[in-house]
Amino acid sequence: MLPITKILVPVDLSARSLGAAAYAKPLAASLGAELVFLHVVRHVGPLGEDELEFRDRIHQTAGSHRFLFRRGSPAPVILQTAAEERVSLIVMATQASPVLTRVFDGSTTAQVLRQAQCPVWVGLDNLWPLSARPIESIVCGVSVDSHADSVLRWSAGVANQLRAKLTVIDGRETSTDLEADLLVIGKSPRKRFLADVRTQSYEIACRMPCPVATV
For residue 110, tell me if it sits in a domain: yes
Domains of the chain: total: 1
For residue 99, tell me if it sits in a domain: yes
More confident residue, 38 or 191: 38
More confident residue, 154 or 99: 154
CATH number of residue 121's parent domain = 3.40.50.12370
Q: So what's the pLDDT on residue 103?
A: 44
- Please give the residue range of the domain that contains residue 99: 6-214
**What pTM did the predictor assign?**
0.89
For residue 64, tell me if it sits in a domain: yes
Instruction: Find, among 119, 138, 131, the residue nearest to 187 by Cα.
Output: 119
For residue 71, tell me if it sits in a domain: yes
For residue 111, tell me if it sits in a domain: yes
Residue 168 predicted with pLDDT over 70:
yes
Tell me the range of 4-8, 61-65, 130-134 where mean pLDDT is highest: 4-8
For residue 39, tell me if it sits in a domain: yes
For residue 181, tell me if it sits in a domain: yes
In the chain, the amino acid numbered 89 is L
Give mean pLDDT, residues 40-51.
84
Q: Which of 44-48, 103-107, 129-133, 209-213 comes out lowest in average pLDDT?
A: 103-107
For residue 186, tell me if it sits in a domain: yes
pLDDT band per the 50, 70, 90 thresholds, residue 15: confident
Q: So what's the pLDDT on residue 177?
A: 78
Residue 134 predicted with pLDDT over 80:
yes
pLDDT band per the 50, 70, 90 thresholds, residue 1: low
pLDDT band per the 50, 70, 90 thresholds, residue 97: low
Residue 133 predicted with pLDDT over 60:
yes
Q: Which of 89-103, 136-150, 162-176, 178-192 comes out lowest in average pLDDT?
A: 89-103
Q: Residue 82: CB partners within 8 Å, gap ≥ 6? A: 8, 90, 116, 117, 118
Q: So what's the pLDDT on residue 146?
A: 65
pLDDT band per the 50, 70, 90 thresholds, residue 93: very high
More confident residue, 93 or 145: 93
pLDDT above 70 as % of the chain: 88
DSSP state letters, 121-174: EEEES--GGGTTS---EEEEEE-SSTTHHHHHHHHHHHHHHHT-EEEEEEGGG-
